[in-house]
Structures are given as structure tokens and as C-alpha cells.
Amino acid sequence: MARGSRSAGEIRERAFHAWLASHLPAGHVGPLPLGDDAAALPAPRGRVAVLSTDALVEGTHFLPESPPRAVGAAASSVTLSDLAAKGARPAALLLAIVLPPGTPARWAAEVVRGAESMATRHGAHIVGGDTKPGPVRTVVSAGLGWGRAGHLAPRSGARPGDVLVHTGWVGRGGVAAALLAHRPAPRSRARALGEILDVRPRVAEGLALAPLAHAMLDTSDGLAEASRLLAEASRVRVIVEESALPLAPGLRKLGRSAAARRAIALYGGDYELLAALAPREVERARRAVRRSGGTLSRIGSIVRGRGAWLVHDGGPEPMPPAGWRPFEPAPARSR
């Protein structure tokens, strides 16, 4: 191909921007139209802006054959999960896509469709973003949500005597990574690629928990890492009881030993919510989460001391490390 020529279907920035303007509804949700220098949204009275950003990089968080619509949905979801951890109601997302020259426009369009579909599901829209050439496909999402200043449940708020609770399942990300690592047949591999990107942000659960929680964070890097972050920020000891964990379906079949099952459970990529509550609020929180359509499990406690500890049949031990290490080679998955 001659230098400077383009193949059919290759992305062209201005044409792609025109496609975005005609396919996204965001031009109707604020005082500035889609495609302007910035987006603008009216702020609800009595709320504070909650902001977060995240990036998915090919080869680290998804693979070349990963479905682009699933990549887009995951890009929205990982940012929505951060907003959920502060009890914020999602309002808008920005999406920046970095693409190597020659990338088909259809790939980018499917990413946008997936991202907008997930944002819409949680009451938000993509209101802007950017496209740039680069050496590896990367999708960067940034989110805006509206929260209440007194209900942000900072990581530093856990107190000795609190109860530790967890939404949904422990080990979903580890199960998906383990299935992909076992080199499955093509059909099973395609399913595993989709499951790795199947991030389910607990937005409704976060809204239910935030008014009751002393501290809350999402488990994007897994329960082990979230426990350590909570302990460090709050200057307390976090105790997790292995027997109380709501293990993801299929996890017990993958691990041949307790240690192997533990490694899968703590691998990372769960995107649940971990929260510290006063004991008197646990039942109220469980009912609130149930009304939101979710589940809440009591998995441990907060005591005086330092660090995160896991209690199992062999006794207490310092929390094992998470399997997911973003700057080391590992099976690709969403962060």
C-alpha cells in the first residue's frame, strides 16, 4: 500500500466525529452540543461532583480478539463502579479512544455503542471525548456523578467495632481469568473473553449503602487488595472470614485445593462494593441493598490494629496478595 493511502473502512477522525454526533443523544442533555470544546451539565442543588477516570489497554485489560462492544461496555463500567463506591448517581461520561493507524472505524463505533449502552443503563450518557492515534488500542473513560457531601463513605472512615460487608460475589474476575488461562476451545474462549469484560457496576447498591456506610470502596483489584487499601486508609485492622465469603458460581470446581480456590477468589476484577458499617446498620443496609436488586453479605469485622487479615481453617494470616498485578504479565482482564 502506498504511503499515505487508506484502506476501506479505516477510521477517519472527522468522519468518526460526525458519526458520533448523529448517533449519540448527549447533545440534548446539557447546554453545549456534542462536539463542542467541552461538555456542560447543570449541577443539582445540594450535591457535590464525584469524578473518576480509568483506562483499558489492549494486551493488559483486553485481547485483540475481544468483542469491541464488550470493551466499550467495560470501559464505562469500570468508571461507573468508582462512582458507585461513593454513592454517586452517574450523570455523564467522557470517552477517549487511542487507535493505531489502520484500525477499522467499525471497531471504534462498536466500542462507543457498548460504552453508551452501559452508561444509559445507569442513567448517564457519553457527552464528549477524543480520538488519537497511538501504538496500542486504549479506551479511557472519565465519569461525573452527583453525590451528597455527607454520604461519600471515604476509605478512611472505617472504625474499630464496624462490620465488614460485601455486595454480590467474591471471585467472579478470578473465575473468568482462570477459564481463559486454561486455553479453552474456540467457543469457550470466546465466552471467557466476554466474561472477563463483564463488569457489573453496583450503582444501585452504592446509592443504597452510602448513607449508612462509614467507609466504602469497589473491589476492582479484588477483595484482598481492597481490604488492604481500607485498612491502610482508615488505620485499622480489617479481618475477613473466609467461611463467610459469597464465592462466585463455578469457583469451587476450578480449585483442587483450598489454597488454589483462595487464589482464584482473591485474584481481582470483581467490581463489587466493600463497606464498613456500624453493627446497628447491618440489617437496614441489607434490606436497602435487597430493594435495589442486589445482595449483601457480612464477611468480617474492623478492629484496632493494622493491616488486612484472612481467617480460615488454618487460623488467621496476613491477607494473601491479589493475583492481578497491572505492571506484570498476566491474563488480560478488565481492571
Confidence of residue 179 (pLDDT cuts 50, 70, 90): confident
Confidence of residue 327 (pLDDT cuts 50, 70, 90): low
- Render pLDDT for 137-163 as a digit per residue (tens, 0 to 9): 999 999 999 999 999 999 999 999 999
Q: Domain 13-148 is of which CATH architecture? A: 2-Layer Sandwich (3.30)
CA distance 141 to 136: 16
In the block, which residue shows the cell 473518576? 52
- Render pLDDT for 257-311 as a digit per residue (tens, 0 to 9): 888 899 999 999 999 999 999 999 999 999 999 999 999 999 999 999 999 999 9
The domains of the chain are located at 13-148, 155-318
- Render pLDDT for 9-48 as a digit per residue (tens, 0 to 9): 666 666 666 666 666 665 555 677 777 778 888 889 999 9
Confidence of residue 2 (pLDDT cuts 50, 70, 90): very low
How many of the other CB atoms lie within 10 Å of CB of 127?
Answer: 26
Is residue 215 classed as helix, strand or coil in its secondary structure? strand
Q: Which of 327, 332, 330, 267 is nearest to 65 (CA)?
A: 332
Is residue 232 classed as helix, strand or coil in its secondary structure? helix
**316 close to 239: Cβ distance less than 8 angstroms:** yes
pLDDT the model gives residue 98: 97
The runs of H, that is alpha helices, within the chain are 13-23, 68-84, 105-121, 172-181, 186-196, 203-209, 223-234, 251-254, 258-265, 282-291
pLDDT the model gives residue 334: 41
- Output the CA torsion 222→184→249→287 (10° steps): 50
**189 close to 134: Cβ distance less than 8 angstroms:** no
pLDDT the model gives residue 22: 65
pLDDT the model gives residue 195: 86
Q: Fold match between 13-148 and 155-318?
A: no
Q: Residue 81, exposed/middle/buried by CB under 10 A (0-12, 13-18, 19+)?
A: buried
Sheet holding 125-133, edge to edge: 48-57, 138-147, 89-99, 125-133
pLDDT the model gives residue 178: 87
Confidence of residue 5 (pLDDT cuts 50, 70, 90): very low
- Render pLDDT for 86-139 as a digit per residue (tens, 0 to 9): 999 999 999 999 999 999 999 999 999 999 999 999 999 999 889 999 999 999
**Residue 185 or 320, more confident:** 320
Confidence of residue 330 (pLDDT cuts 50, 70, 90): very low
pLDDT the model gives residue 109: 94
* The listed CATH number (3.30.70.260, 3.40.50.720, 3.90.650.10, 3.90.50.10) that belongs to domain 155-318: 3.90.650.10
CA distance 209 to 207: 6
- Render pLDDT for 215-261 as a digit per residue (tens, 0 to 9): 999 999 999 999 999 999 999 999 999 999 999 998 988 877 888 89
pLDDT the model gives residue 172: 93
CA distance 130 to 95: 7
pLDDT the model gives residue 15: 66
CA distance 335 to 328: 13
Q: Which of 11, 161, 31, 179 is nearest to 100 (CA)?
A: 11
CA distance 215 to 234: 9
Average pLDDT score over residue span 178-194: 77
Amino acid residing at 278: A
pTM of the model: 0.89
In the block, which residue shows the cell 475477613? 240
CA distance 124 to 117: 9
pLDDT the model gives residue 37: 77
